[in-house]
């Protein structure tokens, strides 16, 4: 995996060796950031279910002011920290080993943009989205990657589903 664009374009991202990690493929990542391209400058970014941290690193490379990385795997956290260090984004990053819902229910952070890629078939998707919506700043945007068969809500609190993209077996939904 590589950084697609921005100040760190072409940089190699290390991926955890876990079978539970499913990195966002480059064409999906490119499409997501194309949709966000004029909205990301100087914005706070949340990379929920971070895995390798590639989405938050891509956001920082493209001009986000800060990124918060959340994952519940110690192995992923180690890789995320290594990637952040390799790209010299330590001063703009915060990394937490935490369950997504627990983090969202306890943090004081609020975000302009969030990306989440929960395990496909997650039974807690509605709760995760609802908790996330409470932590978004006014005018915020969140993007969710799931399997094509996932039923996603049309509305989450005061956010509405604005776009739906299909890439093979992948469904990407954007709320604002």
More confident call, 37 vs 98: 98
How large a percentage of the chain has pLDDT more than 90? 86
Assign a CATH topology to domain 36-150+158-175.
Rossmann fold (3.40.50)
Residue 108 is predicted with a pLDDT of 97
- Rounded to whole angstroms, the Cα distance separating 152 from 158 reads 15
Segment 17-73, tens digit of pLDDT: 865 777 888 889 999 999 998 899 999 999 999 999 999 999 999 999 999 999 999
Residue 22 is predicted with a pLDDT of 73
Over residues 75-99, the mean pLDDT reads 97
Residue 122 is predicted with a pLDDT of 79
Model's pTM, two decimal places? 0.95
Over residues 117-141, the mean pLDDT reads 92
Residue 60 is predicted with a pLDDT of 98
Residue 82 is predicted with a pLDDT of 98
Both tokens of residue 142?
Answer: 């969140």
Per the prediction, the chain carries an average pLDDT of: 94
In whole angstroms, how far apart are CA 61 and each of 67, 70, 114?
Answer: 11, 18, 15
Residue 175 is predicted with a pLDDT of 97
pLDDT bucket at 174, cuts 50 / 70 / 90: very high
Give the start-to-end residue ranges of the domains of the chain: 36-150+158-175
Residue 154 is predicted with a pLDDT of 95
């Amino acid at each position: 995996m590589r950084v697609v664009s921005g100040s760190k374009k072409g940089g190699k991202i290390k991926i955890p060796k876990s079978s539970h990690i499913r990195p966002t493929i480059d064409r999906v990542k490119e499409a997501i950031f194309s949709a966000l391209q004029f909205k990301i400058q100087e914005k706070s970014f949340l990379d929920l279910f971070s895995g390798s941290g590639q989405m938050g690193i891509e956001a920082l490379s493209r001009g986000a002011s800060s990124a918060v990385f959340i994952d519940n795997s110690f192995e992923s956290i180690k890789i995320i920290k290594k990637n952040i260090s390799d790209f010299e984004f330590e001063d703009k990053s915060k990394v937490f080993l935490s369950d997504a819902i627990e983090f969202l229910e306890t943090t004081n952070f609020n975000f302009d943009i969030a990306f989440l890629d929960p395990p496909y078939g997650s039974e807690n998707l509605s709760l995760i989205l609802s908790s996330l919506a409470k932590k978004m700043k006014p005018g915020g945007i969140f993007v969710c990657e799931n399997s094509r068969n996932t039923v996603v809500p049309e509305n989450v609190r005061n956010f509405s589903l604005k776009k739906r993209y299909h890439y093979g077996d992948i469904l990407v939904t954007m709320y604002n």
